[in-house]
A and B are shown apart, each in its own frame.
Chain A
Amino acid sequence: AQSVAQPEDQVNVAEGNPLTVKCTYSVSGNPYLFWYVQYPNRGLQFLLKYITGDNLVKGSYGFEAEFNKSQTSFHLKKPSALVSDSALYFCAVRDRAGSSNTGKLIFGQGTTLQVKP
């Protein structure tokens, strides 16, 4: 079964410092990986995705993620954190199993990012 793990419930960083939110995955075949962000009382906003090609993917709001096949990881990064980056972050893998191939997303449990001034 395909799955995603976000090992940290919360990440705390100081504004201006680099941030990393970790994600590991378990899939059969090549993974299609996504990061979403959720602000309080809002839906999920798409940040970036890895489908194929360069292992370093750049996304919205200065975020990037590095796909590492050998470590089965897809960590989200940003060189300089902002207080406004404080939110709940979800890693997800696109389900490609089975003949139905609905393409539904399988999500990690989420990581709360707290950026302090």
Chain B
Amino acid sequence: GAGVSQSPSNKVTEKGKDVELRCDPISGHTALYWYRQSLGQGLEFLIYFQGNSAPDKSGLPSDRFSAERTGGSVSTLTIQRTQQEDSAVYLCASSLESTSRQTQYFGPGTRLLVL
């Protein structure tokens, strides 16, 4: 079946511009996670959605970052006024539910470069 998909696969933007990254989770998966992979910080959690519950935003690095999940499916991560330190690979993952036993399946990522 279809896995997690993300778009765009690559994004180059200028400092100060806003960007939107999209994630389509596996159908039927209620939990959705965003992670960031960068050379200096490794893989770090950003935000989590579970069904209709309020998202856990504890990993967002600044108020320039926000995310939403519409209809319990597609999610969009928005970075406003991008900075060069935002350059990274942004990974989305989904799982059947949020319990610890469930496996998270990852998308291919969006590679963001801020010039």
Chain B residues engaging chain A, CB cutoff 8 angstroms: 4, 6, 31, 33, 35, 42-45, 48, 50, 56, 58-59, 91, 93, 95, 98-109, 111
Contact = CB atoms under 8 A, between A and B. Distances in A.
Interface residues of A, number: 26
B71 to A, nearest CB: 21
B93 to A, nearest CB: 8
Given A90-B43, A103-B31, A104-B45, A34 B100 contact: no
B101 A32 contact: yes
Given A43-B6, A107-B42, 12 more contacts: A43-B91, A46-B103, A46-B106, A90-B43, A94-B100, A101-B98, A102-B33, A102-B48, A104-B45, A105-B45, A106-B45, A110-B42
Contacts, number: 67
B42 A43 contact: no
17 contacts: A32-B101, A34-B104, A36-B106, A42-B108, A43-B6, A43-B91, A43-B107, A46-B103, A46-B106, A51-B100, A94-B100, A96-B100, A102-B56, A102-B98, A103-B99, A106-B45, A110-B42
B36 to A, nearest CB: 11
A44 B35 CA distance: 11
Contacts of A108: 42
List the 3 shortest-distance A-B pairs measured between CB atoms, nearest first.
A107-B43, A44-B106, A43-B106
Interface string A76-117: 000000000000001000111000111111111110000000
Given A43-B109, A101-B98, A104-B33, A109 B42 contact: yes
Contact of A34 (B35, B50, B98, B103): B103
A103 B106 CA distance: 15
